[in-house]
A and B are shown apart, each in its own frame.
Chain A
Amino acid sequence: MMSYNGGKFDVIVIGAGHAGVEAGLAAARMGADTLMLTLNLDAVAYMPCNPSVGGPAKGIVVREIDALGGEMARNIDKTHIQMRMLNTGKGPAVRALRAQADKFTYQHEMKQTIEDTENLLLRQGMVEKLIVEDGQIQGVITQTGAEYYAKTVVVTTGTYLRGKVILGDLSYESGPNNMQPSVNLSYHLQELGFDMVRFKTGTPPRVNGQTIDYDQTEIQPGDDVPRAFSYETTKYITDQLPCWLTYTNAETHELINGNLSRSPMYSGMIEGTGPRYCPSIEDKIVRFNDKPRHQIFLEPEGRNTKEVYVQGLSTSLPEDVQHSILKTIPGLQNVRMMRPGYAIEYDAIVPTQLWPSLETKKIEGLFTAGQINGTSGYEEAAGQGLMAGINAARKVQGEEPLILDRSEAYIGVLIDDLITKGTNEPYRLLTSRAEYRLLLRHDNADLRLTEKGYEIGLISEDRYNSFTDKKAKIAAEIKRLEKTIIKVSDDAQKIVEEAGSAPMKEAVSAALLLKRPEITYDHVARLTEPEEELEADVKEQVEIQVKYEGYISKQLEQVERLKKMENKKLPEDLDYMAINGIATEARQKLAEVRPLSIAQASRVSGVNPSDVSVLLVYMEQGQLQKVKQA
């Protein structure tokens, strides 16, 4: 192949999936001259699996992306078919928004945004090689021979790296949904010395909605209240489409059991490690054989299509078995399948090879984000893409990377888990992965991160001003409630009784009254009105911050202790082999992960407190400098 010089950029992003688009948009918006290369321009921001965005933990990531100036929240706000707030019956820490996407308009909208963005060039092309000199990235080479040069490169290849689709005893090299896979780049990354792993995921069949008998299913409508992910959204979609719920049954399970021998999962054809949280239907039936039925959610894939996603039926059984399985399920007896489900295997890099900035340790200026780092999920990908894009641009501009810690954002938890502990299955965020989830709420993502988004230049002046305004209002109102004394009066007792709370015995501050579980901000406001009517989100913050103050301050204390250890920095080129007293296993792990702080070191698996003590000894004695790598 004749090669030619394709031009020079600041940042090149390989891939335009959910990680790639965030990386490209962030870099370009920060002023970096950015090239975004993708295999197929019709697959920008493509959703190869479920047509939905958000949910517990993931939905909070979407809010965080928005607070930092990313695109996912705005895009889904414009293109969803329904939205629901989940966990409304529980505490504020675990509430989360989820949207069903119109997957086609989602793509079109995102592509348009990219096309309209200054400094950003979207181009079709398959990268096969990286140009590396002296351990520094220089650029990329495409299949068609174009050589593009850049100071930093972000790789977001999703499930395309040496992708292989498996369906019954059929298997072939392919990206998701029969897209072209990226084979040479994977081999090239191995040649460059990256440790790779092979992961697996899967997707269920899609059926024609006109052939579903919805009368045999339960309706799952969106919320009546208008909802939005982005703090900027002012226009709400009111015309929503419902989803539907049905169940598998004994007949379904019998059929699957009878065909297990034809499942590639059990015939040994699949070598990749699949995620536990996303088992195929055959897995569920084998592992939980006492469960009489499994839920099946029917989710429309968009407004202008009849295709319906059969959530809960992810499978790699042969196509003929899939036809039969569908017909055993109430509402689907006469259904016409449009696309079969399948399993897909792909290569990912071992993420402990990354710094917290998502830059690779091996090649300076090379960043990776999304499924290539071993994660799963659009939101996890988008969060990493945004951070990689920001840090790639900051590197070009000579700035320090932006790193979020575990107490600041789910994105911080996600990245720290990946680069410190690695993962042996596709990684999904769960609320239980966050130690400080009471601080990492859906409602306060803006309070946590807008400041940072503004500093790096992704949040506009207008938005920043309204943010500081909101912050001031919250603080002032909390102060007012703490100072206002509510006396025992007929009025007060009436409101307290109406709320279902015990009668007041003595005069208390309005804040103390609000701490009662049954009392809401509105109850208190009736007893002591603020000078001017406050916005709903201000009221919400006041209520949460006052009501859960005890728990919140407990977590803040823990965070304080964590920060002390985060502030004890370790040099990145420490020679752990030269430090006496660290156990052998810990030494190897530390040498691999090369943590940047004592806190991170203590989270590396296989490192125990005494090893950390030894590091502290060296640090306090000023001897760390002596054991840096030559």
Chain B
Amino acid sequence: MEMDTISAISTPMGEGAIGIVRISGDDAIQLADNLFKGKRPLAEAETHTINYGHIKDPDTGDIVEEVMVSVLKAPRTYTKENMVEINCHGGLTSVNRVLQLVLNEGARLAEPGEFTKRAFLNGRIDLSQAEGVIDLIRAKTDRAMNVAMNQVEGKLSQRIQKLRQALLETVAHVEVNIDYPEYDAEEMTLEILQEKGSFVKKEIDRLLQTAQQGKILREGLSTVIIGRPNVGKSSLLNSLVQENKAIVTDIPGTTRDVIEEYVNVRGVPLRLLDTAGIRETEDVVERLGVERSRKVINSAELVLLVLNNNEPLTEADEELFKLSEGHDVITIVNKTDLEEKINLNRVRKLAGNRPVVATSLLKDEGVDELEEAIRELFFEGDLETGDMSYVSNSRHIALLNQAKKTIDDALGAMEAGMPVDMVQIDITKAWELLGEVIGDSVSESLIDQLFSQFCLGK
């Protein structure tokens, strides 16, 4: 129990002109400085000032967001601790991204009401509210415990338990070498440790990928339909929308060309982009030109490239293949009801190992295959919708990222030739971080493991 540094989004969820990420705690300013790029570091800023600059991803160096940052130094702040408020552009994605970076730097996601609790604990709020705050703390833990209970039963928890067990056995092995140096257990070598570390890191990566999938489930997979005029883009759009009951979003204040439509294809929510463009006359799309197409494609996670079975491949078709390189692409060869004039071998070659589906949208043929291809692409075959466990909680994502970073530290230390017992400090840390994800406490489990795994004694 310590007053660590906490952070949360402090503006209401939803669309707004700005969003604020708030940080409170001893390390608030230093932590924000790790991400902030401005005229001068925040640490040098006067208290109660607002500072213009950018938030950068410390791993990649990429600029993530243009921001105004308030610096509020203890004790004259809401919580009586150092506080930083990062004002971002509105919209959940950008605020979330900034929060994620803050959590990656080591802040803990604040519980609901925790800023107020801090304010109270630090003596800023009036004495008469004591009972109320205690109720709040109590009620919150009970809720948190419910959540924890649900998660304990979940798949996520099982997968993390498995990883923790792998780490625990490794740590216990190192410990037995330390505490019982003469015991005839195989010496835990850096090689074995390296192997285990890499394995766990890979598994954490996979979990974080499910986080990506979880995000897609919530926000939709951005999808664009491209193709030359008259190949059947509108038919495809209508087919997907009719069959899957699209929800047309018409965000006020936006121009028509970003209108999106959501459809749910076999459990995969597609967010169809630029549907306005497709619905307009064909020449509009042509008017958009290559630059516009590139832009649309780049904003999408999935590209549906439509070709005409009844015509030979054109330069424009090949150009679209080129533009969509590096994206998930499904190639649709439409109009199979007409004579095959397209060079299918060439199409397959251009598509490479990405799926190609033949359809006749006019006769409603091949749509099933297309939908199946979309489903497979998303779920990659090894995860089933039914029992998928998504990491979706920001706190979990941050903990997993920290665990991954800790394992990286351990792997780095191994590379540098640090002794096993030093490397093990980080491995143990990773094990604890994973424990925090599932709310498991540390306590005696290592010592229990030691004595159940090895036969020790005098």
Contact = CB atoms under 8 A, between A and B. Distances in A.
Contact of A276 (B121, B180, B451): B451
B416 interface: yes
Interface string B103-128: 00000000000000100111100010
B419 A90 contact: yes
Given A610-B140, A613-B137, A94 B425 contact: no
B418 A517 contact: yes
Contact of A565 (B1, B141, B419, B421): B1
A618 B122 CA distance: 11
A312 interface: yes
Contacts, number: 127
Interface in B367-423: 416-422
Nearest to A275: B457
B260 to A, nearest CB: 43
A447 interface: no
Given A430-B175, A608-B141, A613 B121 contact: yes
B417 A614 contact: no
A311 B458 contact: yes
A605 interface: yes
B419 A617 contact: no
A4 interface: no
B428 to A, nearest CB: 9
Given A295-B184, A438-B425, A548-B422, A279 B117 contact: no
B149 interface: no
B2 interface: yes
B446 interface: yes
Interface residues of A, number: 60
Contacts of A283: 457
Interface residues of B, number: 45
Nearest to B123: A620
B141 A623 contact: no
B419 A278 contact: no
Interface string A530-558: 00000000000000000010010010000
B181 A86 contact: yes
Q: Which of A279, A609, A613 has its CB near the most chain B CB atoms (within 10 A)?
A: A613
Q: Which of B133, B135, B138 has its CB near the most chain A CB atoms (within 10 A)?
A: B138
B137 A614 contact: yes
Given A90-B420, A90-B421, A91-B418, A278 B133 contact: no
Interface string A309-330: 0011010000000000000000
B178 A94 contact: yes
B420 to A, nearest CB: 6
A473 interface: no
A430 B422 contact: no
A291 interface: yes
A615 to B, nearest CB: 9
Contacts of A276: 451
A610 B117 CA distance: 11
A602 interface: yes
B178 to A, nearest CB: 5
A278 B456 CA distance: 7
Interface in A234-270: none
B458 A278 contact: yes
Nearest to A554: B425
A139 interface: no
Contacts of A300: none
A599 B458 CA distance: 35
Interface in B124-158: 127, 130-131, 133-135, 137-138, 140-141
Contacts of B184: 295
Nearest to B171: A432
B255 interface: no
Interface in B1-16: 1-4
B183 interface: yes
B179 A432 contact: yes
B339 interface: no
A49 B140 CA distance: 52
Interface string B437-458: 0000001001100110001111
Contacts of B135: 581
A288 B184 CA distance: 14
Contacts of A91: 418-422
A548 B423 CA distance: 11
B443 A605 contact: yes
Interface string A286-314: 01100100110100000000000001101
A518 B138 CA distance: 54
A277 B183 CA distance: 12
Given A91-B421, A430-B447, A287 B455 contact: yes
A90 B178 contact: yes
B451 A277 contact: yes
A204 interface: yes
Contacts of A312: 457-458
Contact of A288 (B131, B417, B455): B455
Contacts of B120: 617, 620
Interface in B309-350: none
B117 to A, nearest CB: 7
Contacts of B416: 517
B417 A517 contact: yes
A56 B178 contact: yes
Contact of A279 (B121, B131, B178, B455): B455
Interface in A584-630: 598-599, 602, 605, 608-610, 612-614, 616-618, 620-621, 623
Contact of B422 (A93, A599, A612): A93
B182 interface: yes
A49 B420 CA distance: 32
Nearest to A309: B458
A433 interface: yes
B134 A580 contact: yes
A431 interface: yes
A468 interface: no
A143 interface: no
10 smallest A-B Cβ distances: which pairs?
A91-B419, A517-B417, A581-B134, A288-B455, A276-B451, A610-B141, A602-B1, A612-B1, A91-B421, A94-B178
10 contacts: A49-B458, A91-B420, A277-B456, A279-B456, A431-B178, A433-B447, A438-B425, A551-B422, A612-B1, A621-B123
Given A620-B123, A621-B127, 9 more contacts: A86-B181, A91-B422, A295-B182, A432-B446, A438-B425, A551-B425, A564-B3, A581-B137, A599-B1
